[in-house]
Structure 1
């Protein structure tokens, strides 16, 4: 009798009646979701008991201040304390501006005096020799330097040295008579050259078109 009239539209229970056949696959977006973990919804009697046992919580006075394991906690007494704002004195700002403006004419006058002194010191002459100015040499020197750079360009750095693998490696077994690993087939030329470079403690980059040859 308690579940009378309950359906997918108004029940959260897993034991509620299913919806109509038209909603058997996709359901309906207006259906209530199930309670998590298979929990059953409370009856009216359970709701009344819980409401009687519930206590009124004062969110202003009953707050916990010290967390577990701590000796001290938060202090909420100074919540309404106002932060003192710095006072701005306009007269002090105006006085600093006056001091700056008083300093500017002095610097301008000093610069003007320096310019007049320099103008007086310069002698009056009509020849470049008297002023100590020599004729500029023609711009042939930089062009010659440029030609030398073109004739002797700097050598470009080589990050890799290619190894000739077209000719067979005849002295492979003389240089490595007892290899650490032996294969049941004859190695290719690039594989032998790679082994020789590794034996010489050099880094090797193998650029082969097949992965089988590189894994050997």
Structure 2
């Protein structure tokens, strides 16, 4: 009991908080960039320009089938970046491919008749995409996008072992070097597990709530 009390110091929670903020920072930037680049790749892969379509396809298929750990390691060594930019870059590279397929699937799920109806009403292609296709596609993409966001948050735990980045899991490993008794290590693992769970569960619940809101608005 005394060992656990020794662990429960302000410095412990400060280090975990700092690690958590870095985890969320890396995840948020990576997801935002991945959605932007993924949307571009999805449009190119669905487009009629064959060279661009092939380039988008090659990128998506190659990146998705290489482990994210290798991308982290490659970016860190090849581009000689500092740990945080390297982590963001590697996660953006990998997650962009996943987001591209999610977005492409959502766009393809919208009936082509919706586009034809928009053209018949005199809408431009941009208006059709932003006012007709995307709102419907987003509802279909949302569960997969949320799942990918949760995956990114969890996978940031790779960064400490590969490039020694002190995100949430990395911070817990540093603490374990200071508090190495069995009950202290067990307590730290429980704390980190609960933090990951609460964040990802909250994101999932927000997704469910938004889906229900959309469903009720349609009715």
TM-score of the two chains, using structure 2 as the length reference: 0.17
Larger CA Rg, structure 1 vs 2: 1
TM-score of the two chains, using structure 1 as the length reference: 0.17
